[in-house]
């Protein structure tokens, strides 16, 4: 059985103490960090440039993934790889030549990954499944943290898992949006194995370590019931 992974989004972090936030996430036991990169065009928000990611790379040894919620992501792939991102995620809706863009990521030395928004059918990226290391199903509409999990995405996660299994893919299946203790189990049952949690970890009343323990406890219970 593939080990479940919990990856923290730092979208809702305290940016004045971002280095400390990263160190606390590492100490809490997350499996990686996701940088939600937004351009104010593809999504209605602005966030991290590659220089911020590079500064964070100096503070922790955790794997980094860049979630490029930007138009024409192919223009910036190399910057985020140089900044220290091990995985680069691009949206199928944001690049005209998706196959070419995934190839650019691989050529730059990172793991290529593709994300799809809630309204995009998983069948739209069927023909690039053999070219990715990770498929991200958005369980909220991208652009803001703290949104509620869209439960109608559960059948879509299951379809994505079936499609990956059908071609014998080893790509991870990631979900992002509204992942907390009361939703992570449903996403795991549907077939996801990587879980992005932002406010579920950063905003937990008992702190980051308690949040990660709680999420892992739910995942372990699901694994035991399977």
Q: What are phi and psi of 144, to 5 degrees?
A: -145, 145
Looking at residue 1, its pLDDT comes to: 46
Contact predicate 76/53, CB 8 Å: no
Q: What is the pLDDT of residues 48-95, one digit of tens each?
A: 999 999 999 999 999 999 999 999 999 999 999 999 999 999 999 999
Q: What is the pLDDT of residues 130-174, one digit of tens each?
A: 999 999 999 999 877 778 999 999 999 999 999 999 999 999 999
Question: Which string of DSSP letters, residue by residue, matches the chain?
Answer: -PPPEEEEE-TTS-GGGHHHHHHHHHHHT-SEEEEEEEBSSSSS-B---HHHHHHHHTT--S-EEEEEESSSGGGTHHHHHHTT-SEEEEETTT-S-HHHHHHHHHHHTSEEEEEE-TTS-GGGGGGGGGG-SEEEEESS-TT-SSPPP-GGGHHHHHHHHHHHHHTT---EEEEESS-STTTHHHHHHHT--EEEESHHHHT-TT-HHHHHHHHHHHHHHHHHH-
Outline where 29-130 has alpha helix (H).
50-57, 77-82, 98-108
- Is-catalytic flag, 14? no
Mean pLDDT over the full length of the chain:
96
Looking at residue 226, its pLDDT comes to: 62
Domain ranges, residue 217 = 5-225
Looking at residue 100, its pLDDT comes to: 98
- Across residues 177-184, what is the average pLDDT? 96
Count of structural domains within the chain: 1
Q: What is the pLDDT of residues 2-43, one digit of tens each?
A: 689 999 999 999 999 999 999 999 999 999 999 999 999 999
- Across residues 191-196, what is the average pLDDT? 98
Looking at residue 92, its pLDDT comes to: 98
- Is-catalytic flag, 61? no
Q: What is the pLDDT of residues 203-224, one digit of tens each?
A: 999 999 999 999 999 999 988 7
Pick the catalytic residue from 39, 133, 176, 193.
Answer: 176
Pick the catalytic residue from 36, 39, 133, 186.
Answer: 36
Looking at residue 163, its pLDDT comes to: 98
CATH assignment at residue 54: 3.20.20.70
């Amino acid at each position: 059985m593939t080990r479940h992974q919990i990856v923290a989004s730092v979208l809702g972090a305290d940016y004045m103490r971002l280095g400390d936030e990263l160190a606390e996430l590492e100490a809490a036991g997350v499996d990686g960090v996701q940088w939600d990169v937004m351009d104010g065009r593809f999504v209605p928000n602005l966030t991290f440039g590659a220089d911020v990611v590079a500064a964070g790379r100096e503070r922790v040894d955790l794997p980094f993934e860049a979630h490029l919620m930007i138009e024409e992501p192919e223009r910036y792939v190399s910057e985020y790889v140089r900044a220290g991102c091990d995985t680069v995620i691009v949206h199928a809706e944001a690049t005209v030549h998706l196959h070419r863009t995934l190839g650019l990521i691989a050529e730059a030395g990172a793991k290529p990954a593709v994300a799809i928004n809630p309204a995009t059918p998983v069948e739209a990226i069927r023909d690039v499944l053999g070219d990715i290391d990770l498929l991200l199903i958005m369980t909220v509409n991208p652009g803001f943290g703290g949104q509620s999990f869209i439960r109608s995405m559960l059948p879509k996660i299951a379809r994505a898992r079936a499609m990956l299994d059908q071609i014998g893919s080893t790509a991870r299946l990631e979900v992002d949006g509204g992942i907390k203790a009361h939703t992570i189990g449903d996403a795991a049952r549907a077939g996801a194995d990587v879980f992005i949690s932002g406010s579920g970890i950063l905003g937990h009343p008992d702190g980051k370590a308690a949040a990660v323990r709680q999420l892992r406890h739910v995942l372990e219970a699901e694994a035991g019931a399977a």
